[in-house]
Amino acid sequence: MATQSYQQALEIAASLTQAERLRLIRELTGLPGSSAADEPAHSIMELCGLGKEIWSDVDAQEYVRQERMSWNG
């Protein structure tokens, strides 16, 4: 029964205009229990220190010098 209702909903959605489909998507994604609403907000600060081990043995001045030299070919 649920599969039939789902199929009917898909058929109805297919008959909508582009604008109506976008409105439907916006309204459906705003429903309580939707995955977008359940995800916690993140902060850019969560990335602080990510990958720091890659740079642990790199001298910053030497790295910048080498990068600048590579610009000239």
In the chain, domain spans: 2-71
Q: What is the pLDDT of residue 3?
A: 79
Which of 46, 45, 44, 27 minimizes the C-alpha distance to 36? 27
pTM for this structure? 0.39
> Looking at the predicted structure, is the pLDDT value of residue 40 above 70?
yes
Q: What does DSSP assign to residue 1? A: -
Q: Looking up tokens 């720091």, which residue turns up?
A: 52
pLDDT tens for 2-38 read: 778 989 999 999 999 999 999 998 888 887 765 555 5
Question: Does 73 have pLDDT greater than 90?
Answer: no
DSSP string, 13-42: HHTS-HHHHHHHHHHHHTSTT-HHHHSPP-
